[in-house]
Structure 1
Amino acid sequence: MNVRTANSYLYILILVGMISAFGPFVTDFYLPALPELSEYFGTSTFMVQLTLTVSMIGLATGQLLIGPISDRYGRKPPLILSLVLFIVSTIACLISTNIGSFLLFRFIQGIAGAGGVVISKSIATDLYEGKQLARFFSMLSSVQGLAPIFAPVLGGVLLLVTDWRGIFLTLLIIGLILLLTTIHFHESLQTPVQNSSSSTAKAYIPILRNRHFMRYVLAQTLVMGVMFTYIAASPFIFQKHYGLSSLTYSICFGINALGIMAGSLLTTYFPKVEKALSTGVSGFLLMSILVAATLLSGSSVYAVETALFLLLVCMGMILPTTTALALEPVRENSGYASAVLGFMAFLAGGICSPLAGLGNMLITTSVIILICAVSTLLLTIRKRTA
């Protein structure tokens, strides 16, 4: 551990886990309500789907802005500010009367959610190092990985008793709870980075030139591309192609989410972070081949579900290890580095999600997963032999 903090390890774990999952949760929680939003605002499906896109853009770009701010002014002030901004933008979404204003406030929501994603990694890097940092990230990733998967399922359940406003009211309540929880957080950054506003952009240059950092960032980006491809394609594959009910699909979705958690926890049993990553990447490639084979050969839904579950277990091993190994050498600028890491992850989502819907979804999904898996292996092998 680098510094002492007045907060307990359990408090830090719970707080960081909640704020890191908050951004992805905000993005996906209302997905089941998209058709209802289309009717409410009297607009096209495309315009309603655009509310998801602008939120992801806000999550990506917001991290590039908030990361440097947290390096300069500490973690707590920008975290509180981002939560206040989220609360205000959520209220604005609730009272929106047209799709144009709703899009604007969804974008602001995304920027606000980015604060938790980027600052959570920075707090962990401030407080821990080495194997302890990797172990913390393994637990953090198990929570963060579950958020975008469980969020639509929980949103669908909530819609059984309320409408889209109920979903956003729930988000508002969660935001208020997080704000109250954050007030008790003691600053983790002991030595702020003294960069002027004009030098903020320049501060990214040495980080982007750090080959060690960027290889792990790119590896995680590719894995997140697979994650978002799975999220975008799985409803159509399970419900339309295999004819599962929405309830059965939700059960499969939840089981696979547990796979990510299991993979993240598995990394804590490896003596070295690099060994856990190597095992995860190798398994990720093998399971990608298995997923593609089951999708393209017309295998049963049980075979596809088993292959996807194993793929997500391997994904759960890669996410925390790449995060820890990427941030370790750039901890003095962890806010900037975390911003790059988060930006690339959501950029991957913005690119891969629509690509999964091109042509035959079974084929495009298989191709995207295979390309990302092979590229991840090449990146990590190159690093190990460099």
Structure 2
Amino acid sequence: MKNLKENHVAISTLLAFALIPLSGFATDIYLPSFPTMATFFGTSQGDIQLSLVVFVVSSGVGQLFVGSLLDSFGRYRLSLAALIIFAVSCFVIANSHSLPLVLAMRVIQGLAVALIVVGKRAFFMDMYSGEKLKHYTSLFSIIWATAPITAPFIGGFLHHYFGWESNFYFLGTATLIILALELRYGGETLKASHPFKLRHLLKIYVSKLETADFSLSLVILGLCFSMVILYSMASPFIIEQVFHQSAVTTGNCSLLSGLAVMMGGLLSKSSMRLSLYKKMSVAGPLLFALSILMIITMHYFPSLLAMMIIVMALHTVSGFTFNTFYSHALGRFTTNAGIVSGITGGGTYIITSLLSYALVSVLNVQDLVVLGMAYFLVASLIAGSLILFIQAQRRTMVREQSASAAIS
């Protein structure tokens, strides 16, 4: 097996960071093409949105389980195979005239991305520890935010000049370039493999999920991410059909949304020394207030500018909250890095996809006030989850103090 060379660690770290936003690129780059794709395939808005949902669900389910495979069989070869599969599926979609085939390829892409992203998150846990690991994990959501910033912008440009198919040609080509670099500079980083024993693995999964503050972190992560996905699914139709703007405008607005998410992540990283309780005592009420403001503003003063100002504020706070809990979840345990990474990513994606699609479908989010109502519902769920999280942490502290007293 080809192990990672010491002099290739730096460039492998850069490649790992480059692949972390892959899931975001796969979901966001073709958002400006949604209305055109609905016309091309002769289908409804909901069916095209389903191509996003099936990707996120398959990626989430995949991330729940691929961690155990990565911990048993290594990161490198599985990641290489997943990169090849992802690239090929992109070219198949670009040449497809059948929506069922597109949906099938999106499921395959979700599973491939699960292997890639979980493997790369585990790479950092393999190679780094202590403050350096904490520093890198705090960058994950910030690096991930480059996808919603740049992907729709690139996608809007490609769609405008070359058609919706060019988005998938771009993704496939970029993936092949990274594959070539991985073959040249990458290598295996798993130091000690864990035997693949199903019963033992199930016990590990249960033990992690039984930790209340960890499980509630996943719920909060999923709710925060659903705000971004909710906007991603609804905004192309609102911007292009309600405001009668072009796909380029959709891409530019998504760029602003992504910048807001990144800004929130940077603010969270800069306030790492503050306690989680202090951060959330501000972020929770702020999300609630901004969602109410959006409903009122969109009812009396509907405009694209007003919508984007409030969306950016909401996504900044959401990004701040996401980054805070992402670092907490990944750093909660010191063993089974692949499994923890998989549960964190998979749990987040599953909660996000189910909630986002349910809101878009049930509320039929096609106008500004209903979008505000959807944000309000998610903000309310986040507030409730934060209260439960704080209570869980307090119970954990009491148990630890009681255990320490018993030992002494």
Give the TM bin, normalised by the shorter chain.
Answer: 0.7 to 0.9
**In structure 1, how many angstroms separate the alpha carbons of the residues matched to 2:381 and 2:239?**
22
The AA in structure 1 aligned to 2:391 is: R
Pairwise mapping of residues 82-93 of structure 1 onto structure 2 (< 5 A)?
Answer: 82-93=82-93
Q: TM-score, normalised by structure 2?
A: 0.82
Asked if residue 156 in structure 1 is aligned to residue 156 in structure 2, the reply is: yes
Which residue pairs with 1:6 in the alignment? 6
Gaps of 5+ in 1: none
**Per-residue deviation, residues 81-111 of structure 1 (Å, max 9, x unmatched):** 2112212322333443533323222211121
Which residue pairs with 1:103 in the alignment? 103
Asked if residue 382 in structure 1 is aligned to residue 383 in structure 2, the reply is: no
**In structure 2, how many angstroms separate the alpha carbons of the residues matched to 1:243 and 1:91?**
31
**In structure 1, how many angstroms separate the alpha carbons of the residues matched to 2:342 and 2:272?**
29
Which residue pairs with 1:57 in the alignment? 57
Which residue pairs with 1:208 in the alignment? 209
Q: How many residues align?
A: 382
The 3 A distance-change label for structure 1 pair 220 and 50 is closer
The 3 A distance-change label for structure 1 pair 55 and 128 is same
Secondary structure, in 3 states, of the residue corresponding to 2:233? helix
Which residue pairs with 1:231 in the alignment? 232
**In structure 2, how many angstroms separate the alpha carbons of the residues matched to 1:131 and 1:363?**
39
Q: Does the Cα contact within 8 Å between 1:281 and 1:314 map onto a contact in 2? A: no
**In structure 2, how many angstroms separate the alpha carbons of the residues matched to 1:170 and 1:246?**
17
- Give 1:158 deviation, angstroms: 0.4
The AA in structure 2 aligned to 1:222 is: L
The AA in structure 2 aligned to 1:270 is: S
**Per-residue deviation, residues 262-296 of structure 1 (Å, max 9, x unmatched):** 22223333353x62674256224314312322332
Secondary structure, in 3 states, of the residue corresponding to 1:189? coil
Pairwise mapping of residues 232-381 of structure 1 onto structure 2 (< 5 A)?
Answer: 232-235=233-236, 247-270=248-271, 272=273, 275=275, 278-279=278-279, 282-297=282-297, 298-299=300-301, 301=303, 302-354=305-357, 355-356=359-360, 358=363, 361-381=370-390
Q: TM-score, normalised by structure 1?
A: 0.86
Secondary structure, in 3 states, of the residue corresponding to 1:332? coil
Q: Does the Cα contact within 8 Å between 2:212 and 2:389 map onto a contact in 1? A: no
**In structure 1, how many angstroms separate the alpha carbons of the residues matched to 2:331 and 2:7?**
22
- Give 1:224 deviation, angstroms: 1.5
**Per-residue deviation, residues 131-155 of structure 1 (Å, max 9, x unmatched):** 4333212322112123245423321
Q: Does the Cα contact within 8 Å between 2:291 and 2:373 map onto a contact in 1? A: no
Secondary structure, in 3 states, of the residue corresponding to 1:218? helix
Q: Does the Cα contact within 8 Å between 1:32 and 1:155 map onto a contact in 2? A: yes
Which residue pairs with 2:398 in the alignment? none
Q: Does the Cα contact within 8 Å between 1:90 and 1:172 map onto a contact in 2? A: yes
- Give 1:214 deviation, angstroms: 1.5
The AA in structure 2 aligned to 1:136 is: Y
- Give 1:159 deviation, angstroms: 1.0
**Per-residue deviation, residues 152-193 of structure 1 (Å, max 9, x unmatched):** 332111012212332221111011012122221233321222
Secondary structure, in 3 states, of the residue corresponding to 2:161? coil
**Per-residue deviation, residues 286-317 of structure 1 (Å, max 9, x unmatched):** 14312322332435655543333233223333
Identity of aligned residues (%): 26
**In structure 1, how many angstroms separate the alpha carbons of the residues matched to 2:186 and 2:337?**
19
Q: Does the Cα contact within 8 Å between 1:75 and 1:188 map onto a contact in 2? A: yes
Gaps of 5+ in 2: 396-408
The 3 A distance-change label for structure 1 pair 11 and 35 is same
Q: Does the Cα contact within 8 Å between 1:225 and 1:345 map onto a contact in 2? A: no
Q: Does the Cα contact within 8 Å between 1:59 and 1:111 map onto a contact in 2? A: yes
**In structure 1, how many angstroms separate the alpha carbons of the residues matched to 2:243 and 2:89?**
39
**In structure 1, how many angstroms separate the alpha carbons of the residues matched to 2:21 and 2:345?**
12
The 3 A distance-change label for structure 1 pair 97 and 243 is closer
The 3 A distance-change label for structure 1 pair 242 and 284 is farther
The AA in structure 2 aligned to 1:147 is: A
- Give 1:11 deviation, angstroms: 2.7
**In structure 2, how many angstroms separate the alpha carbons of the residues matched to 1:97 and 1:7?**
46
- Give 1:67 deviation, angstroms: 1.5
- Give 1:202 deviation, angstroms: 4.1
